[in-house]
A and B are shown apart, each in its own frame.
Chain A
Amino acid sequence: MSAKIKLARQFIEAIPHSRILGMRLKDLGEGFAVIEMPYSEDLIGDPETKVIHGGAVSALMDTCCGAAALGHPSNLGSTATIDLRIDYMRAAVPGQTIVARAECYHVTRSVAFVRASAMDDDRDHPVATATGAFTMEGK
């Protein structure tokens, strides 16, 4: 693991809100990241179905996309979200962990274009997808 990835990993694991949601960084590489978030009753958005709130999925997507931008080789060490769009394909199954995978599909000196998808146990049908633009601290 490169020193840079190690530093990015430390930074991501120290984010207070991500820790509180129980997010775990499963993988981080050059321009990609995988983060999982366990189900919790605190995250319920629909009391009738017990499905987690879209906002919690947004928090996972934002963290994962930001991690991918931070882990990109041409980023010198910080990033911020410029915009993030989430498409909700279906309700996540209550009780299941959600895993997000994000990748930078294009980067310029100042912007990383990132996309991500989130899955529960059914890996063939995403719960949600996201696309966003993140600031890059370039050379």
Chain B
Amino acid sequence: MMMGPRRKAEPVQVVKQRRDATLNALVDGVPYIRYLGITFERKGDELTAVLPFSEKLIGNPLLPAIHGGVTAAFLEVTAIITLSWTFLWDDVESGNINTDQLRDEGLPRLPKTIDFSTDYLRSGLPRDAYARARINRSGRRYSSVHVEAWQDNRERLFAQATGHFLMPQRRD
């Protein structure tokens, strides 16, 4: 049973527009993400990073296989964007972050990587790769994030990583 007055639900387009504008501002602002060609797909608050295959990502031309450094970078980008996205989510939902403000003031600072450890489980094939991050601990100063990456089959990971991050302090 609902008691008392309740804020009227916002139209779905308004909510979607604000979420997508925030995500785009996060991703488009970083030259290295654009350089590797990484994009993000969003379903509600869940993000999936996509790394479309390109010749410039090759590390071993004989196989060919994706460069291990590209794989590590892809996982680290996924961790940082997911962490920032989660950090901003409440402000996006409450409307504290709006599209005009994003354009004028930019976004809060990004988390800084303290350490990042990548396991290479299979060689990266010459095709698109996907990754999702899970935040295992999110504190005021430090966060711990695990990332999984796969290509054709979600159950067959080609890499996984764990990283620790120093969180940005909120601008008041």
**Chain A residues engaging chain B, CB cutoff 8 angstroms:** 14-18, 20, 41-48, 52-56, 58-63, 66, 80-88, 91
Contact = CB atoms under 8 A, between A and B. Distances in A.
Contacts of B77: 53, 55
Contacts of A60: 69
Nearest to A15: B59
Interface string B114-132: 1111111001000000000
Contacts of B31: 41-45, 47
B119 A83 contact: yes
Interface of B: 29-33, 35-36, 55-61, 67-70, 72-74, 76-77, 106, 109-110, 112-120, 123
Nearest to B29: A47
Contacts of B35: 42-43
A85 B116 CA distance: 6
B69 A59 contact: yes
Given A43-B31, A47-B31, A54 B116 contact: yes
- The interface centre, meaning the residue of B29, B74, B110, B116 with most chain A CB atoms within 10 A of its CB, is B116
Contacts of A86: 72, 113, 115-117
Contact of B73 (A41, A58, A88): A58
B63 to A, nearest CB: 9
B115 A14 contact: no
B171 to A, nearest CB: 12
A80 B123 contact: yes
Contact of B118 (A18, A56, A83): A83
B112 A88 contact: yes
Given A59-B73, A81-B68, A84-B118, A17 B58 contact: yes
Q: Is the interface of B mostly helix, strand, loop or mixed?
A: mixed
Interface centre among B35, B55, B69, B115 (most CB of A within 10 A): B69
B105 to A, nearest CB: 12
B67 A55 contact: no
B142 to A, nearest CB: 14
A87 B164 CA distance: 10
B29 A59 contact: no
Contacts of B67: 15-18, 59, 62-63
B56 A62 contact: no
Q: What 10 pairs across the A-B complex have the smallest Cβ distances? A: A55-B73, A59-B69, A58-B72, A53-B32, A17-B67, A85-B117, A62-B69, A81-B68, A62-B68, A44-B31
Contact of B32 (A20, A52, A83): A52
Contacts of B70: 17, 59
A85 B68 CA distance: 12
Given A16-B59, A62-B68, 7 more contacts: A17-B57, A17-B58, A20-B56, A44-B30, A46-B109, A56-B73, A61-B69
